[in-house]
Amino acid sequence: MHKELHWKKGAFSNTYKISYHKEFIGSLSTEVFRSNATGQIEEDKYVFKSQGLLSRTIHVFEYISKQKIASIKVSAWGRKAQIKTKDKQYLWNFKNFWQTKWTIADQSKTYISGTHSSLLSKGNLIYRDADNFLILVSIYIIDYLKRRNSAG
C-alpha cells in the first residue's frame, strides 16, 4: 500500500515540518550557514554532516549512538545522489527537466517518489516500503541541492 507525506518550510524558517494526514510526525532542521541538519520522524532521529556547503559528500549518523549509518554522494551536476548504507545502496534521481520530481530506488524497486515546489519550499512524498531514514534523506537532499545552487 502506498502512503503519502507532506512537508513544508516557512519563508524564514530553517525547519521542514513533515505531516501524514495533516498530523505532524517529524521535522528536518538545517543549520544556517552549513549543510548540516538534524531530522526526526517518530522515534527515529538522524544527523546529517557535510565537510562544508560545497562538499558533495554527506555522512549520516544515528543521533543517540553517534554511529555512522550512511553516506550520501551528490553528483557534480546535482541531478542524482548515491546513498550507501552498510547493507544497501540507493539512487536518488531527478525525474524531470525542471527538477521538481525525484525518486529513491535500488536496482529492483522504487521506494519513494517525490515532488516539490522550489519557490514555496514544500512537497509531497509517495512511498512504499520506505523507512523513516529514507524519507528524511529524500527531504535533506532537496534542501542540500537548493542551498548549494543558491550558494554557487
Give the Cα separation of 139 and 4 in Å (integer): 14
* Side-chain-facing half-sphere of 72: CA atoms under 13 Å: 32
Span 118-142, pLDDT tens digits: 777 899 999 988 999 999 999 999 9
Q: Are 114 and 135 in contact (CB under 8 A)?
A: no
Percent of the chain, pLDDT > 90? Answer: 74
Give the Cα separation of 7 and 121 in Å (integer): 8
Higher pLDDT, 50 or 133: 133
Instruction: Provide the pLDDT for residue 67.
Output: 98
Span 58-101, pLDDT tens digits: 999 999 999 999 999 999 888 999 999 999 999 999 999 989 99
Mean pLDDT of 5-11: 93
HEC string of the chain? CCEEEEEEECCCCCEEEEEECCEEEEEEEECCCCCCEEEEECCEEEEEEECCCCCCEEEEEECCCCCEEEEEEECCCCCEEEEEECCCEEEEEECCCCCCEEEEECCCCEEEEEEEECCCCEEEEEECCCCHHHHHHHHHHHHHHHHHHHHC
Give the Cα separation of 76 and 89 in Å (integer): 19
The overall average pLDDT reported for the chain is 92
107: its cell numbers: 536496482
Instruction: Provide the pLDDT for residue 53.
Output: 58
